[in-house]
Amino acid sequence: PNCAVPVFYLVMNSWSHVLNKYGTEDAKQEILTKSTKGEHFVGIASTESDMGSDLGSMKTKIRPEGDKYVVNGEKMYISGIGEAQKYGGGHVTLARMSEDLGTRGMNLFFLPLKDTPGITPTFIDELGREGISFGGFNIENVEIPKHYLIGEENKGFYIIHEGYELARGLIGLVCVGAATKALQNGIAYIKERKAFGRPIGKYEGIQFKLAEHHVRIQALRELSYKALWTYDQEAKGKASRFDVSMSIAMAKSVASQWAFDAINDVMQWQGAFGYTMECEDQKALRGVRSFTLAEGTVEIMKLIIARELLGKEFLAYR
C-alpha cells in the first residue's frame, strides 16, 4: 500500500529505457546487464535543493577534460541513493555544459554512486513510500568516462523528457492500484460496520462517493493505458509528439488527486480507526501524495495540456 515497490519499478524501467535507447554500447553492457538481473539500481537525478520544474535554472555543471567529464554540483530529492550505493548502479543525471545555451546546453549522463570519489550523500525521511531511500548528494570534481554520456552533447534536456513521460504514464497506474486496493478495503468495511442499526454502506452519502470514486479510478485506468499505448505508438511512427504529450499529461494531471480523494474517503468511512497508523490505507494516502510532485508536478502537467491546446506562443515562461 505504501507505493515503494511500484516506485522501484517505474524508476528502474523508465530510466533504464532511456539508457538503453541513447546510451553507448559500453555503458549498456556495463550497467544494464546487471540492472536487469536486479544487481544494479538505475534512477534519475535532475532536481536540486532550489530547482525542480525549472530545469533551466540548474546549477550542476559538467565539463569535458581529456577522455572524461568532470562534474560539480548537487542533486536533491532523489530516490534510490542508498540502493545505488549498496548494490551498485547509479543515476541518469542532468547537468549544465554551457551557460550561454540554456536548456540547449545540457548533458545527460550516467553517474555511478558506489565507491565514487567526490560523492557525499544525504538522506531524508519521506512522508511516505517507505522501502526506498530518499535524499541527495553533493558532487565534487567527480570524474566519469566519456562513454557514460547518454545521447549527444547538449541534447540532455530533450532526451530526459522521454524518461519523464514514461514514468508519468506508469505513475497513473500506480495510483490506480493504490486507490483500487483502498476501495476494496472500504467496500468490505462499509458492508460490516453498523451505525444507527444498519450497515453504513446503506447510506446514500457513502454510496454516492463510492460510485464517484469507482468511475474516476476506472477512467484513470483507461487514461493511463492510453497514455502508455500512445508512448509506444510514437516509437513506431504511429503517434505524434502532440498525442504523446497530451495523453501523458492528462493522465498524470489527475492521477494523484483522484487516488488521494478516494483513499481519503475510505479512511473517513473508517472513523477514528482511519486516523491511526494501524489503518493500512494511510500508507497508500502518503504514497500517492508524492505523485503530485514526482516526475513533474500537477501544475506542470496542466501547463503542458494548455500549451498543446493554445500553442507555445501562449506559454507564460520562456
Q: By 3-state DSSP, what share of the chain in percent is helix, strand and coil, each rounded to 5?
A: 55, 20, 25
Instruction: State the CB neighbour count (10 A cutoff) for residue 316.
Output: 7
Phi first, then psi: give them for residue 317, nearest 5 degrees: -135, 165
For residues 42 and 31, the answer to whether their CB atoms sit within 8 Å is yes
- State the Cα–Cα distance between residues 118 and 71, nearest whole angstrom: 9
- State the Cα–Cα distance between residues 223 and 251, nearest whole angstrom: 5
- State the Cα–Cα distance between residues 288 and 222, nearest whole angstrom: 18
For residues 148 and 109, the answer to whether their CB atoms sit within 8 Å is yes
Candidates 255, 278, 275; CA nearest to 173 is 255
**Choosing from 295, 299, 308, 313, which is the catalytic residue?**
295
- 121 forms beta bridges with 137
Residue with cell 500537477: 298
Burial of 225 (0-12, 13-18, 19+ CB in 10 A): middle
For residues 188 and 194, the answer to whether their CB atoms sit within 8 Å is no
Q: Reduced to 3 states, what is the DSSP secondary structure of residue 149?
A: strand
119 is written with which cell numbers?
560523492
Establish whether 25 is a catalytic residue: no
For residues 263 and 281, the answer to whether their CB atoms sit within 8 Å is yes
- State the Cα–Cα distance between residues 109 and 151, nearest whole angstrom: 8
Active-site positions? 295
